[in-house]
Amino acid sequence: MENEETAEGHERAHEVGESNGNAKLNMRRSLRWKLTSSYLFLVIVVLLVVTAYVARALERSYMNTYAYVVATQAKVISLMLREYAGRDLISLQPMVQELRWRKEATITLADATGKSAGPALDPSFPEVQKAFAGTESQAVRTDPRTGERRVYAAAPIFGPKKEVVGSDYPPVGTKDFASYIAKIRQSKAEGVYLVLAGQDATIYLKQAHQFGLMRETKLVMEILELENMKAVGDAMAGTIGSSRYPFTVDTPRNRDFVKRFHAMHGVYPDMFDGETYEGLEWLTQVITKVGTADDVEKVIEAWEDSRYEGLEGPFFMRKCDHQAEQPGFMVEAAKDPNYPHLIPKILATYPGDRVTPKCRTEDFA
């Protein structure tokens, strides 16, 4: 009896020992599997991170290389076209399309005013502005139509060197420009750069039209004023020049201002109307911020290095010389059936830091 119980006890002990051994083995296997799974997960994560990094690096390398290729192609095409400088852009556009290196590529020619003969060209793009300034440039950005990343490049086409055949300085208040106009006609000049303002400009433009000079010579004005266009009429059509505020700027603030101004006065605002409004509104904002207009020094201090959202875009008041940086425009006197007179049609827009010289200098670079 005792022997049976002892044997039975040994058997139970053996069963318990075997059960404990299996439990330990299963635990080791479980731990090993968990460690192996964690290791595999870590390896997969690392591979994904490395793959993503390599893919981005390859993409950047490809885009940089492709941007260089596109920029080189633009430069080569510009060099080839120099001998055709002065030709009509429309006649050259079909020819340059034959130079495309890929069927998806688009080549557009534009003159100095930003007018293009091919697909629409936005002259505000940095690479286009640099090309107008005389240097090649390229950029990579998303095409808003397709959402794809595209490479853009622009290069200047320098035509034959222009010669200044003469210059004159009529006194302020001149009433008879006949001798000056005759001299311009005799010189056979292709273009005239006119630095006259107000009534002097109006008198010159009317007399130049009477003598037929406007049909023979391209007129470029330092400032193209709405008042001159209204006074001279359709004879000024095609004249180009700069503007600090053309009422045709298409921004929500300006559209609202023009609508209210026209409703109040029955006319459209000229450059001086727009700039006066902006200057006074900016000053009002500064005074409101200071809380008083009596402390001039505080007003000056608050205005320095301040920013203002003008009718046509952002303004910045430099502390170094109290000059305001504001957008600049190249415009053309153009007919529009929606208006009773010529309007300033915007050809190109430039940011404030491009059209304002550096502090206390005449350097625009």
Q: Alpha-carbon torsion 314, 320, 323, 329, what sign?
A: negative
Residue length of the chain: 365
149 touches 162 (CB < 8 A): no
Rounded to 5 degrees, what are φ and ψ at 346? -75, 125
Mean pLDDT throughout 29-53? 60
Class (C level, CATH) for 224-355: alpha beta
**Average pLDDT over all residues of the chain:** 81
Residue ranges with strand state E in 224-342: 240-243, 307-309, 314-317, 324-325, 328-334
**DSSP state letters, 168-214:** --PPTT----HHHHHHHHHHT-SEEEE---HHHHHHHHHHHHHTTHH
pLDDT for residue 293 = 95
Mean pLDDT throughout 92-99? 74
Q: Which letter, b or e, does each residue of 256-291 get, where b requires 16 or more Cβ atoms within 10 Å of its Cβ?
A: ebbeebeeeeeebbbbebbbebbeeebeeebbeebe
Mean pLDDT throughout 312-338? 94
Residues whose CB is less than 8 angstroms from the CB of residue 353 and which lie 6 or more positions away in sequence, other chains included: 325
| Radius of gyration of the chain measured on its C-alpha atoms | 36
* Residue of 262 and 197 predicted with greater confidence: 262
How far apart (Å, rounded) are the C-alpha atoms in residues 312 and 291? 27
Is residue 156's pLDDT more than 60?
Answer: yes
**Most confident listed range (64-68, 210-214, 268-272):** 268-272
Is residue 127's pLDDT more than 50?
Answer: yes
Q: Which of 331, 321, 308 has its CA nearest to residue 226?
A: 331
Span between the terminal Cα atoms of the chain, in Å: 114
pTM: 0.59
Q: Range with the lowest mean pLDDT among 15-24, 68-77, 150-159, 225-234?
A: 15-24
How far apart (Å, rounded) are the C-alpha atoms in residues 102 and 167? 48
Q: Domain ranges in the chain?
A: 1-161, 224-355
| Angle (CA) 224 157 131, round 5° | 65
How far apart (Å, rounded) are the C-alpha atoms in residues 263 and 268? 9
How far apart (Å, rounded) are the C-alpha atoms in residues 244 and 326? 8
Confidence of residue 7 (pLDDT cuts 50, 70, 90): very low
* Local structure of 346: helix, strand or coil: strand
Mean pLDDT throughout 119-137? 76
DSSP 79: H
